[in-house]
Structure 1
Amino acid sequence: MTSPYRSHAEQERALIDALASGRMPHAWLLAGPEGIGKAGFARRAATFLIADGDWRAEQGADSLSIDPDDQVARLVANEAHPEFLWLKREVPEAKRPKDGSAGKDEDIARNITIGQVRSLLNRLRVRPGNARWRAVVIDSIDDLERSAANALLKTLEEPPAQTVFFLVSHQPGRLLPTIRSRCRLLRFSPLDDVAMRSVLQSRLSDADSEEIEALLRVGRGSPGRALLFGALRLAEIDARLRAIADSGDPDNRLRVELAKSLSGTAERRRFEAMLAQATALSANLARTAEGERLPRALAARDRIVDVAALAASWSEDPATVTFVVGNALAAISGDARSAPRR
């Protein structure tokens, strides 16, 4: 079980050292932007812990790597190990297919419910019987209902023996302070371009260099974010956005083409990717602009950030929002002909 995220070595070392010292914290808060591998780290840490991790740490282990053919590794990978518990948002029972399958992604609940937490806590009443340690991953702790968070807090205040919690958080500042205070904090940062490119190339072996670079820009250090948009022909969108910013699109042709290509419900994911790409592009242009171009680039960046933040609540269709984004980029050129036409 080898991690593609080389930048997590420091976090792995912290956990191994804690195990080797005999003072293993009962809860770890894995904090950082979404999509940078925190949940993957939690699974690796849980596997290491259950597979005699304290013994491995005492013997000088330098990473959390476990042979994928190891019985514990196989069971954890299939979420079948009795001492590995994974709590996440689920499809409500009323919406689950009768054939027992997981259900549709769009039916997944917005929160982890109090019922799920109570079920988890009931399982923790019994000491681990199949390994020295039990590992609980909550992905993510941000998704807990308030009542669920309060129920979990009581357990963190009086943790079960030989049980370690790995709490994944994308926005740790929004958690109950009492939850944060009972955890050892491990911070995760966005990956650098070298690590990002390596992950994307390993996961998307058929992608050409232009697509990889487009995903690199929209990912902003988050492989999960980039891979989410991996099948959405982002290089095509990226090229149009850059052409609009460079030329000013004086005849509106590029803006109209882009808006048409992103209209309709079937293109919703590509539309969301466009907003992310435009945000990243405008931020980069604002950083590198000089002279008279600088205030125009800053204005475009601020406009696009505002549009992206409000797009989900707007009643306008994606084509209209796309045209607004295109107008902001076109204005950077300073060409009077790029002003929006009605």
Structure 2
Amino acid sequence: MADELLLEGAVEPSRNRHLFGHGEAEAYLAQSYRSGKGHHALLLEGAAGIGKATLAFRFANHVLHFPHPADAPDQLITPDHASPLTRQIIAGASHDLLHLKRPVDSKSGKLKTAITVEEVRRAGHFLSQTSGTGNWRIVIVDAADDLNRNAANAILKILEEPPKNAMFLLISHAPGRLLPTIRSRCLPLRLRPLAAVDLKAALGALGLSARGQDEERMAALANGSVAEALKLVNYGGLEIIDAYDAVLKGTSAEARLVMHKLADTVSKRENETVFDFLLGHVDGDIKVRARGAAFAGNLSLAERLAGLSSEIAADVAEADAYNLDRRQLALDLLSRLRTALEPSGADA
């Protein structure tokens, strides 16, 4: 079954042969492993879509090809799709690698909202078995942010007393949300967003590029994330942002018309990625505006926007939990944001 989180135009991290912009991290991992002093648990931190999972699989592939650190080269090898071991990793059939992620709900057929404790127990069983090859046993947690509390506590117990030749590669988009005790058991490796040249190269490797002015605009809006760039180009993200701006800048009548069209578009059943993109853009824009207002001394506006951000987050969580009407949710949050941005006496 294909990964439901895989964006159109993307390549699964397990089969991706290309990684751009993280040469220093690759060199560190290769040399640390070769020294025989590598940490048993690594926390790969950074924004979503910049290559953390691809790096994790790349490193796992390297380790499993060279189970004795002293024999490993000082640079990570590029995954060779002709290698039987690499093909097993891609197929999810490796006996020495477990990819821990949100499971699919057997009733709805959709991904669950969290990595459950049952999944972590699978990891415990996996690590308790002796490797048939005498190799490392590697668990990639993708993403550790998705662990619910019971699952997080269960993974913590394993991290506290790891089996011999066990290695954890935890991926996190927001490490501050993880249990401090989990972070303390891991060696953090921070990955930066891709520079414009690396983002362009990554998109080129996917056979994708924006043209003309859209290329510069896309690079600026993507914030160094290949995933965000794919949403902008392949999912109409640029058009969504244009419509969003029109809602906030237009007259009441103009805004109402665009608002309804935008809500109709993002709430379609097949547009879940687009809906999530809008929510993410709204959240980021509100926070930027709140910071700007605070720095400008407009504390009333900053407070209104901060409160609205918290309210929207709660409403989105409730809508997800109860499968509420997304169209109405989109209309409501856009209307409330327009209202919040209207000058009040305290803003004067």
Q: For this structure pair, what is the TM-score category when the shorter chain's length is used for normalisation?
A: 0.7 to 0.9
Which residue among 89, 92, 98 is the counterpart of 1:85? 98
What's the CA shift for 1:250?
A: 3.9
Of 147, 159, 162 in structure 2, the residue corresponding to residue 159 of structure 1 is: 162
* Structure possessing the higher radius of gyration over alpha carbons: 1
Counterpart of 2:54? 40
Distance 2:213 2:44 in 1: 33
* Per-residue deviation, 1:141: 2.1
Q: Could you say if the C-alpha distance between residues 69 and 275 of structure 1 is closer, same or farther in structure 2, counting changes exceeding 3 Å?
A: same
SS at match of 2:128: coil
- Does residue 73 (structure 1) correspond to residue 66 (structure 2)? The answer is no
Give runs of aligned pairs for residues 171-210 of structure 1, distance below 5 A.
171-203=174-206, 205=208, 207-209=210-212
TM-score, reference length from structure 2:
0.74
SS in 2 for 1:262: helix
Q: Alpha-carbon deviation of 1:146?
A: 2.8
**Structure 1: how far apart are the matches of 2:178 and 2:242?**
40
Q: 1:240 to 1:201 in 2, by over 3 A?
A: farther
The answer to whether the Cα contact below 8 Å between 1:135 and 1:166 also exists between their aligned partners in 2 is: yes
What are the Cα deviations for residues 213-249 of structure 1, in whole angstroms up to 9, with x where unaligned? 554444333222443454332232333445566xx42
Quote the offset at 1:142 in angstroms.
Answer: 2.5
Aligned to 1:168: 171
The code of the aligned residue for 2:191 comes to F
**Amino acid of the structure 2 residue aligned with 1:260:** K
Equivalent residue, structure 2, for 1:98: none
CA distance in 2, matches of 1:240, 1:133: 51
Letter in 2 for 1:76: I
RMSD: 3.8
Q: Distance in 1 between matches of 2:164 and 2:170?
A: 17
| Residue in 2 that maps onto 1:322 | 334
Counterpart residue identity of residue 146, structure 1: R
Moved more, 73-82 or 218-227: 218-227
* Alignment partner of 1:128 out of 126, 131, 137: 131
Instruction: Look up the match of 2:258.
Output: 257
Secondary structure of 1:68's counterpart equals coil
The 3-state SS of whatever aligns with 2:163 is coil
Select 1:5's aligned residue among 20, 25, 35.
Answer: 20
The one-letter code matched in structure 2 to 1:317 is L
CA deviation after TM superposition for structure 1 residue 295, in Å: 9.8
Structure 1 residues 145-154 or 208-217, which shifts more? 208-217
- AA aligned to 2:115 is I
The total of aligned residue pairs comes to 317
Whole-angstrom distance in 1 between the partners of 2:95 and 2:242: 50
Of the structure 1 ranges 192-201 and 297-306, higher mean CA displacement relative to structure 2 is found in: 297-306
Deviations 1:285-325 (A, max 9, x none): 89999xx9x99997997688567545515785323433444
Q: Percent identity?
A: 30
Q: C-alpha deviations, 1:154-184, integer Å up to 9, x for none?
A: 3222221222111112232333333222222
